Amino acid sequence: MAGTSPSSTSSRPAVETRQLGRVYKSRKDVVVALQGIDLSVKQGELFGVLGPNGAGKTTLIKILVTLLLPTSGQAWVDGLDVVKDYRALRHRISMVSGGENAGYGLLRVREQLWLFSQLYGMSSAAARRRIDELLERLGLAEVGNRTIAGLSSGMRQKMSLVRGLMTDPRVIFLDEPTVALDVGAARDVRNEVRRWMGEDPTRTVILTTHYMQEADELCDRVAIVNRGEVIAHGTPQALKQQVDEDVIVDLQLEPGRPLLDALRAIEGVGAASAREEDGIDRFSLLLADDAVLPRVLTTVEGSGRRVTGLVRRQPTLEDAFVKLVGRSLHEEDSSGDGA
Amino acid sequence: MGLAIVRGWQGYWVAVRLGWAISSNWTRPFLFIVYSILRPISMALILAVMYTVITHNSAAARPYLAFLIIGTAFWSFIQEGVSEFATGILEDRGRYHMLKYTYLAPLGFPVFLVGRASSKLASASASVVIVLLVGTFALGLPINPLTIDYPLLVLACLLAFVAIMAFSITLSMVLLAGRDSHGYGEIMAQFLYLFSGAIFPISLLPGPLAWLASLSPLGYWLELCRRAILHGRVYEMFPQLSDGEVLARLVAAVAGTVVLGYFTYLLSDRMARRRGYIDMESSW
């Protein structure tokens, strides 16, 4: 069949890409958003795509959901070519993007969801049942008859998730679905995604997220994307093993002059990242062994900054990410110094 | 196939409901009704006053008054249809942030757009009736509901509906593939206003433009509407053509518009996906 993934149906990947690339050209600029992406996601997997801002995650999702054409390579979702078979593919997928205020504000929650169910060809009665069920599960049953304009952003986000799940797609693409949600709402979303997958073992989720803990908790496998390329993929456990032999230290310092580049320059410091929280600079350091720590402390002392906390801890997915990418998810992609 | 048609129809009606909900809920129902009635009346009266001043209300010019009023009345279908298509794209993209989701729905984006724009048919139809009533009772046009050729009128309007949808889908897809598309709907509607024979015969246009206008189905449609309502008592744009010949030209022009619209749709859709404009954020 033209445009169909070569894999047999039974072992067919939910998502497969071969040398997938995307270049944005303008009169002034050429931006390589994706290059040489080779991925294979199995049916029933919850697959995470991690990367800093501008890494190419959303571009990848946009190609896979047929919103954007690739400039090179090929991709298949549920065995269908995203370029040639895009019409048939749209029956089998859905997409939910986080961090946007999407919704026809004049409509009521149930009305909008029902409307979408009709655009997907669901029977009206089945759609109403499914909508009620999902609203109940996500704690939105009480606001089902409220207009969308009156919902909080968290409620809107959950409503978007209901829209994505209610049509029972073969593959759902969740682009930062918990961004800007409070802890409870984010937990509800994660629980529902897992429960939805549990209803049918062939359902597949492709998730992009900024939250490493979320990826670690939810994903069966993850791919780390940086500057348009997949630089590592595997289970969260396998990726964490890459930093298993490192000594991981969290340092808390009072604010002061920039120190990150100086710490990275110390022999034996594999990677370092920094973030500021509540007026305190927090550094995570991957050290080759315990002998590196005194050199780190000497450097800090030399900078005139005071240590307010020091903890040695177990490796996380974020540590693996920092080691692979060279910076944390929260840092901008530049050579400038951080905290 | 049958199921696909049923689902397509079901999706179309949902889009009609959405369009109606959005276009009628911007204010309180009372204000909406007042606005919907006053708008077409004021449009018709402005033209009628201009006409009266220019012609000194001479009896010889009465057929042209009928031409003007009927053209203006039915023009509301184009105005409402075309502008609603454009507004649908702009609103869904910039205001509701729903464009990518409706675009990706399996129903098919053109069906969704047609549904949203069809919601305006009710207000456009009301506008036609209001303007014709004003023409009859305030301006003395000899319109008699019992002598209207309804089969011809309905057939012409159905064909025109297809053509307007094709025009509008073409415009919408061009909007979809464009970066800055504010105002294009109104520009297109005004462009069609000049080229459709709504307020003056297309033969008054300069040569090449008159030829271009003769390819459009809108002039033939308005001609048939005028003939169906006031046969023999209205100025005719194509006096040398019989009703059947005008109808044949309308059918041919509609077919051409549909083919053109289809290929523009394919091209613009691909261009929008190549440029990555479908989920583009825009100001509202």
Q: What share of chain B is helix, strand, coil (3-state, %, to 5)?
A: 75, 0, 25
pLDDT digit string (tens) for A52-98? 888 899 999 999 999 999 999 999 999 999 999 999 999 999 999 98
Mutation target for B interface from A63, A80, A116, A118: give the one with most B CBs within 10 A: A118
Mutation target for A interface from B17, B273, B282: give the one with most A CBs within 10 A: B273
Hey, which residues 177-196 in chain B have their CB within 8 Å of chain A? none
Return the structure tokens found at A19. Answer: 């040398």
Residues of B with Cβ-Cβ distance to A91 under 8 angstroms: 106
B278, closest residue in chain A (CA to CA) = A67
Chain A to chain B, count of Cβ pairs less than 8 Å apart?
81
Identify the helix (H) or strand (E) that includes residue B91. Answer: none
Task: Judge whether B105 is closer than 8 Å to chain A, CB to CB.
Answer: yes
Q: In whole angstroms, how far apart are CA B83 and each of B124, B174, B176, B184, B189?
A: 12, 14, 14, 9, 7
Instruction: Tell me whether the CATH fold assigned to A15-236 matches the one assigned to A242-325.
Output: no
Nearest-by-Cβ selection for B14 from A67, A103, A118: A118
Nearest-by-Cβ selection for A121 from B15, B17, B106: B106
**What is the average pLDDT value for chain A, to the nearest integer?**
89
- CA A83 – CA B239 distance, rounded (Å): 51
DSSP 3-state of B1:
coil
**Of the candidates B25, B30, B122, B108, which has an alpha carbon nearest to the alpha carbon of residue B80?**
B122
Asked: is A15-236 a CATH 3.60.21.10 domain? The reply is: no
DSSP 8-state class, residue A334: S
CA distance B114 to chain A (A): 13
Asked: is A242-325 a CATH 3.30.70.100 domain? The reply is: no
Per DSSP bridges, beta strands A204-209 and A46-50 are parallel
Task: Judge whether B259 is closer than 8 Å to chain A, CB to CB.
Answer: no
pLDDT tens, per residue, chain B with 284 residues: 677 788 888 888 888 888 888 877 767 777 877 887 888 888 778 877 887 788 777 777 788 888 988 998 998 888 887 777 777 788 888 888 899 999 999 988 888 888 888 888 878 888 899 889 988 988 888 899 999 999 999 999 999 999 988 888 888 777 777 766 666 777 777 788 888 888 889 988 988 889 989 999 999 999 999 999 998 888 889 999 999 999 999 999 999 999 998 898 889 899 999 988 888 776 66
**Of the candidates A237, A248, A314, which has an alpha carbon nearest to the alpha carbon of residue A282?**
A248
The sheet carrying A247-253 orders its strands as A269-277, A280-287, A247-253, A307-313
Domain segments of chain A as ranges:
15-236, 242-325
- What's the number of CA atoms in the CB half-sphere (13 Å) around residue A52? 17
Per DSSP bridges, beta strands A171-175 and A204-209 are parallel
Cβ distance A154 to A185 under 8 Å?
A: yes
